[in-house]
Amino acid sequence: MDNELNVTYITFDGHVELHKYRYLYFVIMFTAYILIICSNSTIVGIIVINKSLHEPMYIFIAALLINSLLFSTAIYPKLLIDFLSEKQIISYSACLFQWYIYYTLGGSEFFLLSVMAYDRYVSICKPLQYPTIMRKTTVHMFLILAWILPACQISGGPLMSVNTKLCYLILKGIICNSTVQKLHCVTSTVQNIYGLIVFVIAVPLPLLFILFTYTRILIIIYRSSREVRRKAAQTCLPHLLVLINFSCLSTYDVLVGRLETNFPKTVYLIMSLQVILYHPLFNPIIYGLKMKEIYKHLKRLFSQDKLN
Contact criterion met (CB below 8 Å) for 178 and 253:
yes
Domain count, the chain: 1
Any residues with CB less than 8 A from the CB of 213 and at least 6 apart, and which? 117, 118, 120, 121
Q: Which residue has better confidence, 261 or 296?
A: 296
What pLDDT score does 292 carry?
Answer: 76
CATH number at residue 235: 1.20.1070.10
DSSP secondary structure letter of residue 51: G
pLDDT at position 25 over 80:
yes
User: Would you give the distance in Å from CA 244 to the centre of its chain?
Assistant: 12
What pLDDT score does 6 carry?
Answer: 46
AA letter at 170: I
Any residues with CB less than 8 A from the CB of 151 and at least 6 apart, and which? 104
- Residue 155 sits in which domain range? 2-307
pLDDT at position 86 over 60:
yes
Any residues with CB less than 8 A from the CB of 31 and at least 6 apart, and which? none
Q: What count of other Cβ atoms lies within 10 Å of the Cβ of residue 160? A: 15
The model's pLDDT over 123-135, given as tens digits with 9 standing for 90+, comes to: 888 888 999 999 9
Indicate the average pLDDT of the chain. Answer: 84
What pLDDT score does 2 carry?
Answer: 42
Closest CA to 48 of 32, 36, 29, 61: 61
The model's pLDDT over 240-289, given as tens digits with 9 standing for 90+, comes to: 777 777 777 777 776 665 665 666 778 778 888 888 888 888 888 887 76
Rounded Cα–Cα distance for residues 139 and 299 (Å): 28
Q: What is the pTM of this model?
A: 0.87
In angstroms, the first-to-last Cα distance of the chain is: 60
